[in-house]
Amino acid sequence: MLLLVLVLSLHSTQQGQSLNQEGLYLQRVKPGFDDPDGVFSTWNDRDDNPCNWHRVTCDSVTQSVNSLDLSSANIAGPFPSVLCRLDNLTSLSLYNNSVNSTLPENISDCRSLEHLNLAQNLLTGEIPKSLAEIPNLKHLDLAGNKFSGRIPASFGGFRHLELNLSYNPFSPGRIPPELGNLTNLEALWLTGCNLMGPIPDSLGRLGRLIDLDLALNELVGPVPSSLTELSSVVQIELYNNSLTGELPATGWSNMTKLRLLDASMNELTGTIPDELCSLSLESLNLYENQFQGKLPENLAKSPNLYELRLFSNHLNGELPRDLGKNSRLMWVDVSSNLFSGEIPATLCENGALKELLMIHNSFSGEIPASLGDCRKLTRVQFGYNFFSGAVPARLWGLPRVYLLELTHNSFSGEIAKTIAGAANLSSLIISRNRFSGDIPTEIGWLENLVEFTGSDNRFTGSLPASIVNLGQLERLDLHDNSLTGEIPCGIHSWKKINDINLADNDFYGNIPEEIGSLMVLNYLDLSGNRFSGKIPLGLQNLKLTQLNLSSNRLSGNIPPLYAKEVYKNSFLGNPGLCGDITGLCDDKNGAKNMDHVWSFKKAKSGSGGCRNLT
């Protein structure tokens, strides 16, 4: 028995000693890393080979390690160059860790590597030129490190399929023209690499390229017409550079696979090429440039177009008549251009539209009723145009809309009661129009309403009592209307209110004492109404940057905190008002002398009654 145990334990010790050479190399990786999550805990040196260790994969026949995936393992330490002793290692990922050394030149000893992903680490220094000597390396992802120096021109000498160097703080330099020699390359990502100078013509030779991303650099000069020779390309990202000149007028038809083009945030001029718009584009982003002229009608023919962002250019004319008819448009932003004409009635024909932003143009006409059936809309901005007519009733009540901005137009008619359905509405901005009628009770049902700006309209009637239910309300601006009645009871529930502007209406009654409980109120303008009674003493509790109670019928004393010269303009034109501000009150009845009496009585004296909820 004893013998048997001895034999068994001898046997297992022997097993421990029999870990193969590749396993021994891997064991040398362990001590190099800080490993708080115990990623290496299954790497047992008493195993024969490492093939059952976590994150290690072996060839099933030769039992030789061919893949090591240490991505997102929360390990920290230098690059483990001992891994290059694994003859058959074809795939190595250390993606998303804290590998914090330089990358050694002898990484080229990893002769079998095909996939190397070292993205999102803390690698420093220059990218070793020798990487180009790894014969079969196809996917190289070094994005999101701290590599400095230049992108090695030697990278032009080998056969990558994917080359990702995005988001590294390289020293400012040009795109090596040699990269144009990588004729098998399928993805070239040089986002945020500190690149300067022009886009080399040679990139047009990358006939198999599918993804080209040169965004977030400081590239200058024109988009070379050779780029239109990228006949396999699906996606081109050029946004946020300093590119100038016009887009190539012709050649785009060679790029039959192009789906996404983003050249936003450059200084591009000229027109948007018709040939480009005749492709089956899915996404066209050209915002923040200096494009002019019309948007080609052909754009509306793409069956795939879902995103169109052209804001902040000088585009004019009408939008393509059939825009939205043939595709599931989701995002449209044509704001800040010189567009005119009407909203194409087909925009939401396929019911997918989520955002429609058209502010600061010269659009006119009425909102097509069909937009009222656009149930997925979340954001609608039509401000600063020449729109007119009533807003379709169903548009007021779209269930997902959080921002409805119609300001500075000539819209008329009432806010429809259907607004009750706008359960997600957070900002209702409809100032400077010709809206009329009552503010409907249903507005008080919009639990998520944060801002209601309806100033400079023709609203009449009193505020609905339900408005005090708006517990999220931060801003209520209804100045310059013909509203009347009293401020309803219960405004203490406006716990988040910052701004109240009811100036220049026909409100009357007391200013409710409750107003003193609105602790974050910062701006209060009730001027130009018929408010009467005393000023609530509670206003002294607030930190107001703007207070205007001028031109009302208030009487009694100004709360001592405000009875100062600097606040004089806050109380003008209230003949019955007394205080220490010279000239405001004639002091006929010796009000000044009553100050101390008044302050003792303050708890009771706040006569700030309010209209009861009914």
Ligand X SMILES: *[C@@H]1O[C@H](CO)[C@@H](O)[C@H](O)[C@H]1NC(C)=O
Q: Which of 44, 57, 64, 91 binds ligand X (CB under 6 A)?
A: 64
Q: Count the residues in the chain.
A: 614
Could you give the string, one character per residue 238-267, with x where binding to ligand X holds by CB under 6 A and - elsewhere?
--x----------x-xx----------x--
Q: Smallest gap, in angstroms, from Cβ of residue 253 to ligand X? A: 5
Q: How far is CA 288 from the centre of its chain?
A: 16
Q: Which of 14, 16, 28, 34 binds ligand X (CB under 6 A)?
A: 34
Nearer to ligand X, 144 or 490 (CB): 144
Residue 32: what are its φ and ψ, rounded to 5°?
A: -75, -20
Q: Which of 47, 54, 77, 351 binds ligand X (CB under 6 A)?
A: 77
Q: Does 96 bind ligand X (CB under 6 A)?
A: yes
User: What whole-number distance in Å separates Cα of residue 329 and Cα of residue 348?
Assistant: 7
Alpha carbon distances (Å) from 237 to 170, 212, 540, 559: 19, 6, 56, 61
Q: Smallest gap, in angstroms, from Cβ of residue 379 to ligand X? A: 8
Nearer to ligand X, 81 or 269 (CB): 81
Question: Residue 453: how many CB atoms within 10 A of its CB?
Answer: 20
Q: Smallest gap, in angstroms, from Cβ of residue 85 to ligand X? A: 6
Nearer to ligand X, 124 or 340 (CB): 124
Q: Which of 130, 148, 231, 290 binds ligand X (CB under 6 A)?
A: 231
Q: What is the DSSP string of 324-365?
A: TTSS---EEE--SSEEEEPPPTTTTTTS---EEE--SSEEEE
| Helix extents (H) in 183-324 | 274-277
Alpha carbon distances (Å) from 461 to 483, 484, 506: 5, 6, 9
Q: Which of 49, 457, 462, 570 binds ligand X (CB under 6 A)?
A: 570
Nearer to ligand X, 140 or 487 (CB): 140
Instruction: Say which DSSP state 455 is in.
Output: -
Could you give the string, one character per residue 514-553, with x where binding to ligand X holds by CB under 6 A and - elsewhere?
-------------xx-------------------x-xx--
Nearer to ligand X, 92 or 265 (CB): 265
Nearer to ligand X, 119 or 358 (CB): 119
User: What whole-number distance in Å separates Cα of residue 226 and Cα of residue 236?
Assistant: 13
User: What whole-number distance in Å separates Cα of residue 172 and Cα of residue 497?
Assistant: 49
Q: Does 183 bind ligand X (CB under 6 A)?
A: no
Q: Does 180 bind ligand X (CB under 6 A)?
A: yes
Interface region with ligand X, contact rule CB under 6 A, candidates 24-32, 155-163, 292-300, 321-329? 155-163
Could you give the string, one character per residue 548-567, with x where binding to ligand X holds by CB under 6 A and - elsewhere?
x-xx----------------
* Residue 304 bridge partners (DSSP): none
**For residue 287, what are its two tokens?**
């915002």
Q: Does 155 bind ligand X (CB under 6 A)?
A: no
Of 389, 344, 380, 335, give the one whose Cα is nearest residue 362: 335
CB-based contact 282:304 (threshold 8 Å)? yes
Q: Find all residues with CB under 8 Å of 375, minimum gap 6, and list them.
A: 351, 398, 399, 400
Q: Tokens 């009329």 map to which residue? A: 436
**For residue 53, what are its two tokens?**
């260790």
Nearer to ligand X, 385 or 501 (CB): 501
Q: Find all residues with CB under 8 Å of 271, minimum gap 6, and list them.
A: 246, 291, 292, 293, 294
Sheet of 576-578: strand order equals 484-485, 506-510, 530-533, 553-557, 576-578
Q: Smallest gap, in angstroms, from Cβ of residue 254 to ligand X? A: 4
Q: Is 407 helix (H, G, I), strand (E, B) or coil?
A: coil
Q: Which of 67, 166, 346, 557 binds ligand X (CB under 6 A)?
A: 166
**For residue 59, what are its two tokens?**
């060839």
Q: Which of 47, 69, 87, 133 binds ligand X (CB under 6 A)?
A: 87
> Beta strand 506-510 with 530-533: parallel, antiparallel or unpaired?
parallel
Q: Does 220 bind ligand X (CB under 6 A)?
A: no
Of 270, 611, 252, 601, give the one whose Cα is nearest residue 463: 611
Q: Smallest gap, in angstroms, from Cβ of residue 318 to ligand X? A: 28
What kind and span of H or E run contains 600? helix 595-600
Nearer to ligand X, 202 or 407 (CB): 202
Q: Which of 25, 53, 147, 167 binds ligand X (CB under 6 A)?
A: 167
Could you give the string, one character per residue 339-378, with x where binding to ligand X holds by CB under 6 A and - elsewhere?
---------------------------------------x
Stretch 392-451 residues interacting with ligand X (CB under 6 A): 400, 402, 424, 426
Q: Find all residues with CB under 8 Å of 75, minimum gap 6, and list them.
A: 33, 34, 35, 37, 39, 94, 97, 98, 99
Under rule CB under 6 A, how many of the chain's residues touch ligand X? 59
Give residues in contact with ligand X (CB under 6 A).
22, 34, 62, 64, 72, 74, 76-77, 81-82, 84-85, 87-88, 96, 100, 104, 106, 109, 119-120, 141, 143-144, 156-157, 162, 164, 166-167, 177-178, 180-181, 187, 189, 202, 211, 216, 229, 231, 240, 251, 253-254, 265, 378, 400, 402, 424, 426, 527-528, 548, 550-551, 569-570, 572
